[in-house]
Amino acid sequence: MIKVLVVDDSIFMRNMISDMLKVEEDIEIIGRAKNGEEAIKMNRELKPDVITLDVQMPILDGLSALRVIMKESQAKVIMVSNYTKDGAKETLEALKLGAYDFLEKPSGEVSMNIKDIKKELIEKIRNAKYINMGALKYTNIESSSEIFKKNTKEKDIKSKFEPIKFRNINKINNKDKIIAIGVSTGGPRALEEVLPKLPRHLQAPIVIVQHMPPKFTKSLADRLNIISDIIIKEAEDGEILKNGTAYIAPGGIHMLVEVINGEKKIKLDNKTPPYSGHCPSVNVLFKSIINIYEKNIIAVLMTGMGSDGAEYLKKIKDIGGRTIAQDEQSCIVYGMPKVAYEMGAVEYVERLNNISNKIMELIDINN
């Protein structure tokens, strides 16, 4: 039985979430709290397996409560957030602090919306058993907001956007390289470990699929851009790939790479249905780069539930591309990398804190 504590300042929302869960035979609601202070107390007394945690609450907000909960217990926390710009920022901060996942706060207005959210919530609660709390707590270090304060000096911002002669890679040749990354649950924190370590003179573009809803990917890109030397942005349809720039697929839209008039460009596809349940899909991205870059691909699979990306990571390895998977010990969820490894798709297994070094090593070897 999975013991769940529901935390929300709205009695309507507490009742709605409880009603979603109470009919499930393997889930038990053991408590309901209306603010962060109550949540901390009930967490200590009831010792839940999973906590659904609202962000904005009186007396003590969700982020403040989360800091205490992560220090005191092994409870797995799912943030319940509004899909707004501010909500996205707060949710990303919560993921940094130790929440393992999040979902949209039910609106109560559209029955289909509630039905979909119920299915998603139950799935996330059941998946809590796969969470590696060791990795979750290991990466729960300095708050991203503190990092931002150190990296937003005017001189840093200006130097980042000084022109670099070798950024454009418009002409097609057999030496062009690309770095492709696929990641899901635990991904924002994994990307925050890898991308800031890459140098701004990186001799390749980076394309990234992070399983996230719309609005969150833009906030994630902006957040990572501030703390990184390379440029990181949410991808736009038709833009030309540039070295030293990372492009994150927008939530809910497949991202591909295509060649038009001799130029490698981003293609955003909102018409193709989800691939194996995912949109954007890592497999769709990986498939699109194989014929363009062939063996000059460095493909990386990091923490995440399921198997997305494993299929085409194997094809990349088979044609001579270099493939990296995050190791089990540092994954918050050892799902996607595990499937890829078991398929024989992985050349290098690396701890999270060494993936950027391995990428640079392979870039230098290819040069």
Active site amino acids = 184, 211, 308
For the chain, the maximum distance between any two Cα atoms, rounded to a whole number of angstroms, is 65
Amino acid at 114: I
Total residue length of the chain? 367
Q: How far apart are CA 359 and CA 169, in angstroms?
A: 19
- Return the axis-axis angle of helices 355-366 and 187-194, rounded to nearest 10°: 50
| Chain CA centroid to CA 27, Å | 26
Q: Report the alpha-carbon distance of residue 288 to residue 280 in Å, rounded.
A: 13
Question: Residue 69 and residue 43: Cα distance in Å, rounded?
Answer: 7
- Numbers of helices and strands, H then E, in the chain: 14, 14
Distance CA 287, CA 297 (A): 11
**Torsion sign (Cα): 284, 289, 290, 296:** negative
Are the C-beta atoms of residues 17 and 80 closer than 8 Å to each other?
Answer: yes
* Residue with tokens 């602090």, as numbered in its chain: 97
Terminal C-alpha separation, the chain = 54
* CA count, 13 A, side-chain hemisphere, 83: 14
Buried b (16+ CB within 10 A) or exposed e, 126-138: ebbeebbbebbee
Q: Round the CA-based radius of gyration of the chain to a whole number and report it.
A: 21
Q: Locate tokens 């070798």: which residue?
A: 166
